[in-house]
Structure 1
Amino acid sequence: MPMRRKGTFIGAMLLLGSMTGCASQSSLNQLPQSIVLAEPEQAEFRYEIELARISQMLQEDLTQTQRGELFYRRGALYDAVGLRTLARMDFTRALEYNPRLADAYNFLGIQYTQLQEFDYAYEAFDSAIELNPDHRYAYLNRGIAEYYDARMKISQEDLEYHLENEPSDPYRVIWLFLAENKINSEQAKKSLKENAEKIDKSEWGYQIIKLYAGELSTTEFLQRMTRNLGESETLAERLCEAYFYLGKYMQIQGNPLKAMNYFKLALMTNVYEFVEHRYASLELTRIRSSLLEQ
């Protein structure tokens, strides 16, 4: 299951000041004046064609294995366009026909994490790892589930293992920092700087690491977040990441209102397949619940 999809749409840059709608002035005051927005991503036409084709194929005479694979493929497409419930139904059907689909378990684990159904999430991730011990993302996703379930020590272990497999990936470094920061903030920042030494300085994710390490101000980060887009990277994808991690940064700084607004901006990109978009909604739910309890 790819964490990040490289699409083909070009986002249009807009200033927050040009927005109209329901946002309150008090909410807008929580954000800088020069916030950049992108045209939300639209579902690729080929996804719609593929969904129709698979649905038609499922009406044909198929083996158990073929039917399971088709339900999995359709579930992955539903997930890619944000139809989470339909995706979850198809992943469940896929496993009924072929219970050895590790990727289907991984997807279900992510969705149960988003629903905060952590026991089901762990069961799904454990199944994915049992079927494929080298699964590329199951350890990351289980570590994220443990992070949101406040099982920080276990989360740290899974995220450390995930980082060991690819120490040059800045996002693996960032998620490990987020978990370690809940345990010991000073040690987390020290580890962050050590792990950052293995990151290519030209990587966009390195700017997020510098922000968390205290080497970059939020103003500087906002100025840099649209620079040097990759050939297959869209503005919406870049902003989805930037605003999510700015939201997490604001949480660390003890500013939940600013964090909420950045998570909303991440959701506005419609980059459904990115891990940052998946958990921005969960972050909002948890902040609202926390504020209501105060």
Structure 2
Amino acid sequence: LLREMGKGYLALCSYNCKEAINILSHLPSHHYSTGWVLCQIGRAYFELSEYMQAERIFSEVRRIESFRVEGMEIYSTTLWHLQKDVALSVLSKDLTDMDKNSPEAWCAAGNCFSLQREHDIAIKFFQRAIQVDPNYAYAYTLLGHEFVLTEELDKALACFRNAIRVNPRHYNAWYGLGMIYYKQEKFSLAEMHFQKALDINPQSSVLLCHIGVVQHALKKSEKALDTLNKAIVIDPKNPLCKFHRASVLFANEKYKSALQELEELKQIVPKESLVYFLIGKVYKKLGQTHLALMNFSWAMDLDPKGANNQIKEAIDKRYLPDDEEPITQEEQIMGTDESQESSMTDADDTQLHAAESDEF
């Protein structure tokens, strides 16, 4: 029994999440239905970005062990991803009432206020988590992501470095450093740090996707496509990966391939304005002005303020040929400025926003 539990935990620590779920799910029912085992399964689903499944498992943990604090920081981030503010608020209050000296409780509180976009309060709570336990890598990482959202990049860098100091295998922190270097257009440094994160968690489609984006920025377009293809093999329905692959294909003037990718993506995220926007740009390049304008119009109808929420990233100028200029009002409104921080990168951050605790 202990050997099987150990195998499952080892698989989880190695980020072989499907294997971990399979091993732990075959434990005898009276061992399976314990807080520790279910927390590990919940973590595994979280790592796979299967947030609904993770929430189901963690809510069962809360039902059978309402006093449990360990692992609840991952549950709080799961609720953050699902935008379940009421459930997150209840969890945060329960944990802080139960144990004000646990970093997990303050991380949950920070996530609660982060979801409400109360970044200053969230920062205070994450700092409180660090005060409670200075060796809690997860809190440093969450704090770093919050500083990124407030554009305090130097403070964010310090937080991610502290997380790595505490736990060198905390891949989220390596990812955070790469993300900041990408924002600063230090693409070689960004690629190096994303690769460090990938070495720790080789099953992450999001990390592969980011490496592909950086490789494209470094003018390694074919290599970028190979990397994005690997990401999609791992997670065929990841909209982030498919969007970036379509963008790279568009930049390489492979318009029909890009269009096919975008049509598939439209089935996954039918209300994502940027998909229609890029489809419009493809049709424009193909000389089909009517279809181009129709898709630009749909993009505007879906997102009149340009504040999209699902895929979450404005089309970067690095994806466009040098002679590409916006010619329509819709394109100008949607914004192709590479410095514009839109919601896709925010979502990427939070996809890795807290995928592991310092136990790993």
- Using structure 2 for the length normalisation, give the TM-score: 0.52
SS in 2 for 1:157: helix
Unaligned runs of 5+ in 2: 1-46, 50-79, 85-113, 349-360
Partner of 1:132: 201
- Which structure is richer in relative contact order (CA contacts within 8 A, separation 6 or more)? 1
Q: Is the 8 A contact 1:243 1:263 kept in 2?
A: no
How far apart are residue 264 of structure 1 and its match?
4.8
Structure showing greater Rg: 2
Question: Among 131, 134, 149, which residue is 1:59 paired with?
Answer: 131
5 Å-filtered alignment, 1:205-220, equals: 205=272, 206-214=275-283, 217-220=291-294
**What per-residue deviation string (whole Å, max 9, x for no partner) do you get for residues 178-212 of structure 1?**
323444x2xx2232244345334471344245324
Q: Deviations over 1:71-130 (max 9, x none)?
A: 111111112333222212211111111111111111211211222223322221111111
Aligned 8 A contact 1:78 1:86 in 2:
yes
Percent identical among aligned pairs is 12
Q: In 2, distance between residues paired with 1:268 and 1:103?
A: 20
SS in 2 for 1:49: helix
Q: Which runs of 5+ in 1 are unaligned?
A: 9-41, 276-294
Structure 1's 51 and 137: CA in aligned 2 closer, same or farther, altered over 3 A? Answer: same
Equivalenced residues, count: 232
Amino acid at match of 2:294: E
SS of the aligned residue for 1:123 comes to helix
* SS at structure 2 position matched to 1:237: coil
Which amino acid is the alignment partner of residue 280 of structure 2?
L
Partner residue of 1:203 out of 246, 270, 288:
270
Mapped to 1, the partners of 2:181 and 2:295 lie a distance apart of 32
Shift of 1:263: 3.2
Q: 1:255 to 1:264 in 2, by over 3 A?
A: closer
Question: d(CA) in 2 for partners of 1:210 and 1:260?
Answer: 16
| Separation in 2, partners of 1:134, 1:159 | 13
The answer to whether the 8 A contact 1:106-1:124 is kept is yes
TM-score, with structure 1 as normaliser? 0.62
> Cα gap change, 1:169/1:220 in structure 2, threshold over 3 Å: closer, same or farther?
farther
Superposition map of 1:254-269 within 5 A: 254-255=324-325, 262-264=335-337, 267=340
CA distance in 2, matches of 1:102, 1:268: 23
**Alignment check: 8 A CA contact 2:314 2:344 kept:** no
Q: What is the DSSP-based 3-state SS (H/G/I as helix, E as strand, rest coil) of the residue aligned with 2:168?
A: coil
